[in-house]
Amino acid sequence: MSKRLILSVGREFGSGGHAIAEGLAKRFSLEFYDSNLLEHIAERKNVSGEALKKYDERPRNRLFSRTVRGYSNSMQENVANLQFDALRAMAEEGKSFAIVGRCSESILKGYDGLVSIFVLGDWEAKRERIMRLYNLSPEEAEHMMSRKDWERKSYHNYYCKGKWGDSRNYDLSINKYKEVEYVPVEYPSTQEILTNLREIEMEIATAMDELTAMLGED
């Protein structure tokens, strides 16, 4: 059994997946990483973290991107690979941590202690949450949802074999806004069940006697 925990949380935009990941990280006393992962990388590389964040979880521009002898001119791809290398390095060191998105369920697949979660939500509930958080109209919220999810899906599916949001690629998929209605069910008492069974047994015995009598007449 693994002595460490790596928590990977993918999420639809507006689902609250980031807040869930942060809450779980606090619950299990884990180092928490999202876009701040680039700040740690920037500090080691002596570059601007804010400059790197402009390309965080963004799909590369296929029209203008080129890769020659393993080197890419795409900042989106270079930033993604910096994060992938950092995640693998922490996993190799045996660290426990929580990471939001960044293809982590695929990049860290095979490392002990990995638990991957994908958080989704009903369209209307996500729209309401985005409207409230960003003070947007319904139309603006829907546009932002579509754009952000397209970016995340394109980014993820470029680097990973498994598809973004496909439940088969995660240990657990959660619909945060799913409402479950529990309807109480009344069951008969044990005595009532036994009485019913005895009555059924008597009916079967009577039917068998009648069948035997009918066969005997022949």
Domains of the chain, earliest start first: 6-175 (3.40.50.300)
Contact between 59 and 159 (Cβ < 8 Å): no
CA 8/CA 126 separation, integer angstroms? 21
Calculate the average pLDDT of the chain.
88
CA 106/CA 177 separation, integer angstroms? 26
Largest CA-CA distance found in the chain, in angstroms, rounded: 103
CA 58/CA 185 separation, integer angstroms? 50
What's the whole-model pTM score?
0.76
Check whether 25 has a pLDDT greater than 90. Answer: yes
Residue carrying the six token digits 């829907």: 142
pLDDT digits (tens, 9 = 90+) for 183-208: 777 777 888 888 888 888 888 888 88
pLDDT digits (tens, 9 = 90+) for 34-55: 999 999 999 888 888 888 898 8
Closest CA to 55 of 43, 68, 70, 65: 65
CA 93/CA 64 separation, integer angstroms? 36
Mean pLDDT score, 142-158: 96
Residues, the chain, total?
Answer: 218
SS3 at position 126: helix
